Amino acid sequence: MANSPYFGIAAQFETPEALIAAVRRAREAGYSKMDAYTPFPVHGLSDELQFRDERVPIFMFLGACVGALSGFFLQTYTNAYDYPFNVGGRPLVAYAAWVPVTFECTILFSALTGVFSMIIMNGLPKPFDPMFNIASFARASQDRFFLCIEAKDPNFVVEDTTTFMENLGALSVEAVPR
């Protein structure tokens, strides 16, 4: 359904429990490309959506490694090569003295990598979402819970998906135009 004029089919629910039950039934029916929109975090929803993305922690680990190496080699370069200044016969490469700076660079690079990778992988900034095309979606930030099965799902057929969503006990079901 790559050429579909629809982004997906959205169903509106009144309670978070109804939304979680609907996600569970959609998973059991074979739908895999779906998203939920809620006015507040709902415990267990990400597990039901099977949303597990392990890329941000991996990028944070790599950022921490780059930070540790950068901090260490910056000190090595400045103290041993760029401006060697021998005070009292101490070694130019003093590893033990460089632990605090190396640690702080590790934390800094890891945190910055985590923030920027999360922003990029979430597709932010995202000034427009096709869900904004349906009028009832304004209540998603107030008191309603939405489930959208996207058109890119392999099992997506407009009529069948609409019928399935209506049978979930939704308050309303709407096709979401692109």
Residues 11-37 have a mean pLDDT of: 94
Parallel/antiparallel/unpaired status of strands 6-13 and 172-177: antiparallel
Tell me, what's the pLDDT at 2? Answer: 56
Tell me, what's the pLDDT at 129? Answer: 86
pLDDT for 1 beyond 90: no
User: Which residue spans of the chain are classified as CATH 3.30.70?
Assistant: 6-53+128-177
Rounded Cα–Cα distance for residues 38 and 34 (Å): 14
Rounded to the nearest 10 degrees, the angle between the axes of helix 99-121 and helix 55-76 is 150
Q: What is the mean pLDDT of the chain?
A: 92
Query: Which amino acid, residue 101?
Result: V
The architecture (CATH level 2) of 6-53+128-177 comes to 2-Layer Sandwich (3.30)
Q: What HEC string does 16-83 produce?
A: HHHHHHHHHHHHHCCCCCEEEECCCCCCCHHHHCCCCCCHHHHHHHHHHHHHHHHHHHHHHHHHHHHC
Sheet holding 145-150, edge to edge: 34-37, 145-150, 6-13, 172-177
Residues 66-72 have a mean pLDDT of: 97
Q: Cβ neighbours of residue 104 under 8 Å, at least 6 residues apart?
A: 71
Per-residue model confidence as pLDDT tens digits over 152-162: 999 999 999 99
Query: Would you state the structure tokens that stand for residue 147, as one six-digit string?
Result: 């489930």
Tell me, what's the pLDDT at 92? Answer: 86
